Amino acid sequence: MGQHTVTSFDEDLNAIDRLVHDMGDLAADMVVASTRSLVETDAVLAQRVISDDAIMDARQRELDDRAITLIAKRQPVAQDLRAVVGAIRMAADLERIGDLAKNISKRVSAVGEGSAPRSLSHSIDAMAQSVVAQVHEVIAAYEGRDSEKLKLLRAADENIDIQYTRVFRELLTYMMEDPRNITTCTHLLFCAKNLERIGDHVTNIAEDAYYVMTGMQLPLYRPKADETSVAD
């Protein structure tokens, strides 16, 4: 894509784009750190995630300010308009991802107190790996302007939903086996739900990024495999 005749327009757009990247990197870090702190019950790491969320919020506010100023000043159209509006929406999703990661980290202490069986967090760990991979990939795809990959990413969310269903059932089984696990398992269940939500936000980001790049909306229909809401 060529340069704008007005170079400061490009600078403004680039600044917003950089902020999206930064927030993406930060969100990915937070998700990685929060799952590690959960799996390894690392309270220090968990604390770092909680404090990172403040940075995330500040970034989002900065991005909103810049985006609104740019719209007021430049009245962007077409791809520029899509880029700005897309950035606002992606930033909102990334901020939510940050919140969810913080929420997971907050539960680390609670999970740690109960003597949770190591095996309990194994399936969550696997699910977390998938979510982290999704987060990394959506950021990479956005940076690389790879719209095909974004389409695939959205499809890949199905796997996370399946994994979530599996974790849900597994935790349910543990709780039935031993009622002492209920507290821990409920916390873990919330963590799993948070991870699943992160996956949904990644899907949103992928859809936004796709629209920013191509100007077309992805079809509304998308395979949904989260059966927990309807199951039982």
Partner 1 sequence: MHMPTDKIVPQSDLYSRESTTARTPDENPLPVRVKARDVSVFYGQKQALFDVSIDVPEKSVTAFIGPSGCGKSTFLRCLNRMNDTIEGCRVSGLIALDGSDIYDPSLDPVELRARVGMVFQKPNPFPKSIYENVAYGPRIHGLARSRSDMDAIVESSLQKAGLWSEVKDRLHEAGTGLSGGQQQRLCIARAIAVSPEVILMDEPCSALDPIATARIEELIDELRQNYTIVIVTHSMQQAARVSQRTAFFHLGNLVEEGPTDLIFTSPVEKRTQDYITGRYG
5 lines the binding site for partner 1 (CB under 8 A): yes
Which residues have C-beta within 8 Å of that of residue 56, sequence separation ≥ 6? 23, 26, 27, 30, 94, 95, 98
User: Of 131, 137, 114, 150, whose CA–CA distance to 194 is shortest?
Assistant: 131
CA distance linking residue 177 with residue 131, whole number of Å: 28
Q: How far apart are CA 195 and CA 197, in angstroms?
A: 5
Among 216, 220, 230, 231, binds partner 1 (CB under 8 A): 216
Among 15, 55, 71, 81, binds partner 1 (CB under 8 A): 81
Which lies closer to partner 1 via its Cβ, residue 51 or residue 217? 217
Q: Which segment (1-9, 28-36, 88-96, 124-132) binds partner 1 by CB under 8 A?
A: 1-9
Closest C-alpha to 33, from 59, 56, 62: 56
Based on the shown chain and the rule CB under 8 A, indicate whether residue 151 belongs to the binding site for partner 1. no
Residues 6+ apart with CB under 8 A from 36: 42, 45
One-letter amino acid at 139 equals: I
Nearest one of 20, 4, 32, 6 to 145, comparing CA atoms: 20
For residue 90, the minimal CB distance to partner 1 (Å) is: 17
Q: 24 vs 86, which CB is nearer to partner 1?
A: 86
Measured from the CB atom, the residue of 5 and 229 that comes closer to partner 1 is 5
Identity of the residue, 160 or 213, whose beta carbon is nearer to partner 1 in the bound complex: 213
CA 64, 59, 151, 225 dihedral sign is negative
Interaction pattern, residues 90-129, with partner 1; x per rule: CB under 8 A: ----------------------------------------
- Residue 219 CB, shortest distance to partner 1, in Å, is 16
Instruction: List contacts with partner 1 (CB under 8 A).
Output: 1-6, 9, 75-82, 214-216
